[in-house]
A = this chain, B = another copy of it.
């Protein structure tokens, strides 16, 4: 009925989205290191180089997945009620919960496999998510600018240690109080 199909449309619908969804399933199943472009194409039912119509490279596809991860993290942080009291701790718990529940995304986002500077949208999504944490710490009477960074680093450190299986999730949640 609409006069023009959505951009990126192909005979199956929206290949760009279909590829991303297939990639997300593979990421969750096997992790980023095992994610191959050819398998993504197979899962989407297209030839092994059809993805190049939509992604410049394997790195670019991973960067889009990581960007999606930061968007999800941001959404979780946005959902934390602005109690002003306890808000920083609640944000910390939300960050930790994201790491535990979306481990493959967290590992991709911080795993060092993607050079963020090469993908502006990714760098931007990361900054947007962090801004929420910074804002909350500053609002909570943080005069020292280093305090926001310490709060973020503490939560990020706990999350990363959990995701790397160096400490159990319960210990991390307990450490947050």
Contacts and interface: CB of A to CB of B under 8 A. Distances in A.
Contacts of A107: 112
Interface string A150-177: 1011111110110111110001101101
A140 interface: no
Interface in A66-112: 107, 110-112
Number of chain A interface residues as a range: 20 to 34
Contact of A149 (B112, B155, B165, B167): B167
Nearest to A155: B157
> How many copies of this chain?
2
Interface of A: 31, 33, 107, 110-113, 116-117, 126, 130, 146, 149-150, 152-158, 160-161, 163-167, 171-172, 174-175, 177
Query: Would you call the interface of chain A mostly helix, strand, loop, or mixed?
Result: helix
Contacts of A163: 112
Contacts of A153: 153-154, 157-158, 161, 172, 175
A133 to B, nearest CB: 12
